[in-house]
Chains A and B, each alone.
With several copies, the nearest count.
Chain A
Amino acid sequence: MGATRIIYLDHSATTYVKPEVANAMAPYHTEHFGNPSSIYRIARDSKKAIDAARAQVAAALGAEPDEIYFTSGGSESDNWAIKGIAFANRKKGNHIITTAIEHHAVIHTCQYLEKQGFAVTYLPVDEFGLVSPAALEAAITEQTILVSIMYANNEIGTIEPIAELGAIARKHKIPFHTDAVQAVGNVAIDVKAQNIDLLSLSAHKFYGPKGVGALYIRKGTKIDTLIHGGGQERRRRAGTENIAGIVGLGKAIALATADIEGHNARIRALRDRLMQGILAKIPHARLNGHPEKRLPGNINISFEFIEGESILLWLDDEGICASTGSACTSGSLEPSHVLLATGLPVEISHGSLRLTLGDVNTDADVDFVLEVLPKVVTRLREMSPLYKGKDGGCNVQ
């Protein structure tokens, strides 16, 4: 256990809660704790706080407040959007279009629906992870009742042409959902201009608390409820409201979207120095994702001849927090479905590293990683049976 200093480079997995956000939340645990459905004054304070947060989320997305529904996070929002639209439109058709690189919250939901009799098309992506609008257009049938395409990929950071994809769905009068969990705060979103009918987001990806998210549902969209019960969220999502969490989400999204360009410029500068440094210093390394159309903080690089987890363990030993892909699969043995979809060979995909920068990172962090990472890669390559010396042949390419 070497390092005492922690260099956090896994902001796409989750972020810390900003102090301003934590402070905004605190009074809603012990003081303003009333159930917003109740009639008395202390409950009306809770109600007002939720209304204010709803307005903050709406403003960040270019939506109306009554189009915002609070949920327990990105996964619930994705499940609700997809199952809700599917079950509500079952009589119209049974076909859903999504992509091969979605988060598991979308993919596993679609797989579940396949067992329930729905047919799902998983659109392929190019080597950069981009979905083709023409492919979407071609996949649409009379039976298509939903298109769900993520805004930005959580592993390789690729940003999809959402407005264009949305326009195609709109033209065919098919509801268009986008999983924007990784996009909020990094890309300027305007649901109206971008033809988005449903949008998922999750607070803990932009310095808000875990366990709270939202689903934007355009007015007039036909959707079933996922969590039935009391009349909360205008009768569409039951459950006593997580007031503190909702207040935190509102505050966090307001902060995250106040100056997206300024924020991105700073992060992107750090990111580019780190990314270019790694590629310059380490041979047999390849950048995954799109060179420009990518999240400002995202780096995803494959190192040949070595395996990702062993890289992570060494980095952790130096106090560097990183991941191989999405957090929820870092304990798994399966290679990333996203990298495979971009055409990366399985054996190389095993040696991938994701570094995602955030507001805490500094130039010193970049310097440190550039010092440590090449040593780690060298060390692991030296014990790899696949590696035959710096310039030698190797049996995986």
Chain B
Amino acid sequence: MYSDKVMDHFKNPRNVGEIENASGVGEVGNPVCGDIMNIYLKIENNVITDAKFKTFGCGAAIASSSMATELVRGKTLEEAWDVSNKAVAEALEGLPPVKMHCSVLAEEGIHKAINDYRKKQGLEPWVEKNPHSHDDTEMSCGT
């Protein structure tokens, strides 16, 4: 059901943990849906220098968190903002249709963490370009 890449990121998740005094934190999902992701970003000079996560969820949720934190590390905020759920899923060599919402959650987590940082900086939060219609998710709790 899962690609080898998903299984690798599930079994050896990168960047598990919290960042103390993180520059931005994104908490998404809810326990009723069976998925919660907390994304922690350390941001220096507009660049993400560290990214960590804690996730309650299925294999795809854990792998998506792991991959998303990998993908945004070292990126500028603008670049990180553009990391889409599709990019996360592709980097994982695909997700089953019923699990696509996990990659969406990861994208939302990153966005939320970035905007948390922007708010703390007194900046306008960025607006979702195309708020997820979740077209590509076969079913998705709470959407």
Q: Do chains A and B touch in the complex (CB under 8 A)?
A: yes
Interface residues of A (CB under 8 A from B): 39, 44, 305-310, 313-314, 317, 331-333, 335, 346-347, 350, 382-386, 396
Stretch from B50-58, B79-87, B121-129 at the A interface: B50-58
Contact status of A332 and B56, CB under 8 A, knowing A44-B1, A317-B11, A383-B16: no
- The minimal Cβ–Cβ distance linking B107 to chain A, given in whole angstroms, is 18
Which residues of chain B (23-64) have a CB below 8 Å from chain A? 27, 31-38, 53-59, 61-62
Residues on B with C-beta less than 8 A from A382 are 16
Selected A-B contacts with CB under 8 Å, 30 pairs: A44-B1, A305-B56, A307-B35, A307-B56, A307-B58, A308-B58, A309-B58, A310-B10, A310-B57, A310-B61, A313-B2, A313-B7, A313-B11, A313-B59, A332-B98, A332-B139, A333-B33, A333-B98, A333-B140, A333-B141, A346-B32, A347-B31, A347-B32, A382-B16, A383-B13, A383-B17, A383-B54, A384-B36, A385-B37, A386-B56
B2, B10, B36, B141: which contacts A386 (Cβ < 8 A)? B36
Q: Is the CB of A331 within 8 A of B31?
A: no
A307, A308, A396: which contacts B61 (Cβ < 8 A)? A307
Interface size on B, residues (CB 8 A): 31
Give bound CA distance, A308 to B58, whole Å.
Answer: 7
Residues on B with C-beta less than 8 A from A308 are 58
Q: Is the CB of B1 within 8 A of A306?
A: no
A305, A317, A333, A383: which contacts B34 (Cβ < 8 A)? A333
- Chain B residue nearest to A332 (CB atoms) is B98
Q: Is the CB of A383 within 8 A of B55?
A: yes
* Residue of B27, B59, B139 contacting most chain A CB atoms (<10 Å): B59
Q: Is the CB of A386 within 8 A of B57?
A: no
- The minimal Cβ–Cβ distance linking B136 to chain A, given in whole angstroms, is 15
Give bound CA distance, A120 to B94, whole Å.
Answer: 42
* Residue of B10, B27, B34, B38 contacting most chain A CB atoms (<10 Å): B34
* Residue of B31, B53, B61 contacting most chain A CB atoms (<10 Å): B31
- The minimal Cβ–Cβ distance linking B38 to chain A, given in whole angstroms, is 4
- Chain A residue nearest to B101 (CB atoms) is A333
* Residue of B13, B17, B54, B139 contacting most chain A CB atoms (<10 Å): B54
Residues on A with C-beta less than 8 A from B57 are 307, 310
Residues on A with C-beta less than 8 A from B11 are 313-314, 317
- Chain B residue nearest to A384 (CB atoms) is B56
B 88-132 binary contact with A (CB < 8 Å = 1; else 0): 000000000010010000000000000000000000000000000
